Chains A and B, each alone.
Chain A
Amino acid sequence: MKLKELKKKFSTLETYNIIIAGVGGQGNLLVSELIAKSAIKNGYRVVLSETYGAAQRGGAVNSHIRIGKNLIGPMIPEGNCDILLAFEPMEAIRMGTKFLNKNSIVIMNSHPILPTNVLSGEAKYPDVNEILSTIKEICNNVISLDATNIAIDIGEMLVVNTIMLGALFGMEILPLEKKDLLDIMKSRLLKRYFDVNQKAFDLGYSKVQKNI
């Protein structure tokens, strides 16, 4: 689907089903909170579900976010994800296999975080290009960027999440305003964290704007 058609399709959705997939410590929950709050600000109802607790300790963490006027429950049914925002390739394919359909959109950070079982030699992490090409077989619209390298350039590993959030907003497919989101981010974060996160958001945003 061309971007124009995609935008048209997304402007008529009754419910937006978004999954954010990442690894514990990547700041998954902050991003889902920011999206949810800007949805509420724009008059939508919102419900989201998150894994945390033990999952914080380097495990797979994912959030289901549902935005719409009429919502049923917090969990997105299999195959019904509209947008997958993945902070890590393995987590993209882990969630993607279950939840994507042909028309889903995937925005993926191409930089892997090797699980400790890979580092210790017990498991093998597949080639990222193979992950990417497989996801492209599952659905038509896949954007990949190396958000981790952007974060390293900024000098703060913890902003991978806001770079990816910027990338999501750069697609301009959600009925939410960039300005609202940044306002909410500003009120949510301490000043010294906000500045670096705003910079990260803008870099993710412009990266996607250039590429679409």
Chain B
Amino acid sequence: MISDLGSEKKGLRVLATGNEAIARGAIEAGVKVAAAYPGTPSSEILATLARFSKQFGYHAEWSINEKVAFEVAAGAAFTGVRSIASMKHVGLNVAMDALMSVNQTGVKGGMVLAIAGDPSCHSSQNEQDTRYLAKFSELPMLEPSSIQEAKDFTKEAFKVSEETELPVFIRTLTRLSHSRGDLILGEIKESNIEPHFEKGRRWGMFAGVSRFRHQWRHDRDNLVASIVHKTQYNNLDVPKEPILGIIGGGIAFTYAKEAISILGLENKIATLKVGTPFPPPLKDIKKLLDKTEKILVVEEIEPFLEEYVIQTAYQNEKQSKIFGKLSKHIPKYWELNAKIVTQAISKILGIEFQKEDMERKQILEKSKSLVINRPLTMCIGCPHRATFYALRKAIRSVSKGKAIISGDIGCYALGWSPPWFMQDTILCMGASIGIGQGMVHAGVKVPVIATIGDSTTLHSGLTSLISANYNKSKLVILIMDNSITAMTGFQPHPATGITAIGESTVKADIQKLVEASNIDFLRIVDPYDTEQTYKALSDAINHDKTSVVISRRECALLAERDRKIAGKPRQVYYVDEEKCTFCKVCLTQVNCPAISIRGEKSYINPLECIGCGLCAYACTFGAILKKED
């Protein structure tokens, strides 16, 4: 069924995720270049494009970071072909520098920027509202609210981009990107555009040129507004004598529809579905203001549309009552749901939608009290677990257990979770080194260790590593290299020797790149050799200049997958119950999901253990042994 997504049969109904639908939209539009850096919930857009790149003959790549991905797509669009760059909302911050110039050069070929946001931060460090960045960069943004629209809007976005000569945003959110639904396929356009770069002054944002390009952008205001006002994006639905009007966009709009249906008010409430958050459909907003005196704005994260509704009401001298985040009917953070919207509508209209059932309330309270938190954890056999174990041991032996660990974005961020607490700061891609360096120069009296992964080092860690070494920082940089971008779903990167489409390529050598910065102390260790790793980290902490330890071992999930494919036997450890004193070191210090309790002894599930051996290393009683066949 997955391969159906690449079918050329127009009208075929397939099951697709929002991300797959966006990719399909780009394929139907005849995209020529696709680039991205992985980031949940956006990763599957490029992964899907990569899967079909040979079939349809376009270039798909994992770029080293989002800025490069954006630039690759922009460069392609400068030559007249169609291109797409995809990334998560915070990835857009990395690309922002380039974006804030390309919004003035404009593009020739259609360029789409698919940005996936993450309200409620399911897999992110913040829930920033990308709509403000569309407004900030003065670029059009389309926001689909269903799987079908995700494809159709993406396809349309290329046209809008060519008509306006501006890159166009597609905004998606976790609940759309990671939803699946039936999708009706459209026709695939064969791209017959020959790339041609027409030289000219517009492409150089040089002093003296750039300010006129800003003027050029505003000369297009009316054109941009006319295009995004097309009815297929925005949908105004007004029943006779509505008692309320609801404005919303994206998935939030579906919560509003659900709430209206729960309350049975389909024929009483007018709705405006906004598919173009920027520029917003001001004429439709005015029409709705003409029809009803009460308006509720339903949107996730910030009151972006609400501010435009208030502005439109003011400009048209309306005395409307406008409800939303500013009136506190809708919360200003986290995802919405149908219940929140149902409550907001009920409050505004003064209706009681659910009678309070005290008995049921008590049952649910009791039920709630039984629920415990399930912290995220490193996988069974995860090399990061062994590295953290060695690091903790080194900190205990060298600096009496005192140290600051500045963390980064990736699977090793799981070291933040109990019982590890081995990440003291987590901010954004590559921040561990700069933050750690700042603490060193501030004069903290304990060792500072910056932990960063392989993909993150390439994304934005190398520059700060060179900078720390150059500035004589007594910082330990621990590169936790599991040879893949694991957290986002095992995407390859330049140090893996594999491209996005699965071809082999040259392999960037992280070790040599570090060596080239003329680092004084560099050790390469295998975390499964935990003693060696512990010693290297102890020496690094004692070193008086910048030191780097690369703890390298392939991601256990991948290693286990490869083992299964090769049909090799699995190494397993077991607990010798005679020797086990139930000291719980393996449970509390190693904390591997394969280890549990059976009776008054530790127990290793033989169906789950993959034989990393960390628990055997940690057990001071020699009670954990390798199973010999």
Contacts and interface: CB of A to CB of B under 8 A. Distances in A.
A140 to B, nearest CB: 12
Interface stretch (B287-295, B374-382, B445-453, B613-621): B374-382
B192 interface: no
Interface in A87-118: 90-91, 93-94, 96-97, 113-118
Contacts of B418: 116-117, 120, 122
A115 B374 contact: yes
Interface stretch (A2-10, A55-63, A162-170): A55-63
Given A46-B181, A116-B593, A33 B15 contact: yes
A119 B586 CA distance: 10
Interface in A41-81: 45-55, 57-60, 71-75, 77-78
Contacts of B258: 72-73, 75, 77
A59 B368 contact: no
Interface stretch (B126-134, B359-367, B501-509): B359-367
A122 to B, nearest CB: 6
Given A116-B591, A121-B584, A58 B376 contact: yes
Contacts of A49: 175, 178-180
Contacts of B261: 72
B254 A72 contact: yes
Interface string A122-147: 11111000110011011000000000
A36 B16 CA distance: 10
A154 to B, nearest CB: 10
Interface in B1-54: 1, 13, 15, 40-41
A48 B378 contact: no
A116 B417 CA distance: 10
A211 interface: no
A53 B487 contact: yes
A94 B366 CA distance: 12
A100 B370 CA distance: 16
Nearest to B364: A97
Contacts of B262: 77
Contact of A156 (B182, B342, B376, B607): B607
B462 interface: no
B372 A118 contact: yes
B179 A74 contact: yes
A211 to B, nearest CB: 24
A59 B364 contact: no
Nearest to B593: A58
A178 to B, nearest CB: 18
Given A46-B15, A54-B122, A97 B338 contact: no
* Residue of A36, A48, A91, A97 most packed against chain B (CB within 10 A): A97
Contact of A134 (B181, B363, B596): B363
A31 B607 CA distance: 21
Contacts, number: 183
A40 B13 contact: yes
A59 B374 contact: yes
A2 to B, nearest CB: 22
Interface residues on B, range: 35 or more
B411 interface: yes
B256 to A, nearest CB: 9
Contact of B419 (A73, A117, A138, A156): A117
Contacts of B372: 90, 115, 117-118, 123-126
B175 A94 contact: no
Given A77-B339, A135-B367, A60 B374 contact: yes
B310 interface: no
B337 A45 contact: no
B153 interface: no
Nearest to B336: A75
B147 interface: yes
B191 interface: no
Contact of B379 (A23, A36, A54, A58): A58
B178 to A, nearest CB: 5
B367 A119 contact: no
Contact of A119 (B123, B368, B595): B595
A54 B370 CA distance: 24
* Residue of A45, A131, A137 most packed against chain B (CB within 10 A): A137
Interface in B480-517: 487-489
A52 B15 contact: no
Interface residues on A, range: 35 or more
A134 B251 contact: no
B558 to A, nearest CB: 13
B255 interface: yes
A152 interface: yes
Contacts of B367: 93, 96-97, 134-135, 137-138
Contacts of B175: 49, 74-75
A37 interface: yes
Contacts of A78: 337-339
A187 interface: yes
Interface in B177-192: 178-182
Interface in B332-351: 337-339, 342
B182 A73 contact: no
Contacts of A75: 175, 251, 254-255, 258, 337-338
A50 B179 contact: yes
B358 interface: no
B366 to A, nearest CB: 6
Contacts of B417: 116
Given A49-B179, A72-B254, A72-B261, A121 B587 contact: yes
A54 B40 contact: yes
B185 to A, nearest CB: 13
Given A55-B122, A116-B591, A126 B370 contact: yes
* Residue of B1, B147, B363, B411 most packed against chain A (CB within 10 A): B1
* Residue of A47, A124, A156 most packed against chain B (CB within 10 A): A47
Given A47-B181, A58-B378, A75-B175, 12 more contacts: A33-B15, A53-B122, A54-B123, A57-B411, A73-B258, A77-B258, A77-B342, A116-B375, A116-B417, A117-B374, A120-B419, A120-B591
What are the 10 A-B residue pairs with the smallest beta carbon separation, nearest first? A73-B254, A53-B40, A53-B123, A77-B338, A58-B377, A47-B181, A74-B179, A120-B419, A115-B374, A54-B123
Interface of A: 23-25, 32-33, 36-37, 40, 45-55, 57-60, 71-75, 77-78, 90-91, 93-94, 96-97, 113-126, 130-131, 134-135, 137-138, 152, 155-157, 184, 187-188
14 contacts: A45-B182, A46-B182, A53-B40, A54-B487, A55-B123, A90-B374, A96-B367, A114-B596, A115-B373, A115-B375, A117-B373, A122-B418, A134-B366, A137-B366
Interface of B: 1, 13, 15, 40-41, 122-123, 147, 175-176, 178-182, 251, 254-255, 257-258, 261-262, 337-339, 342, 363-364, 366-368, 370-379, 411, 414, 417-419, 487-489, 584, 587-588, 591, 593, 595-597, 605, 607-608
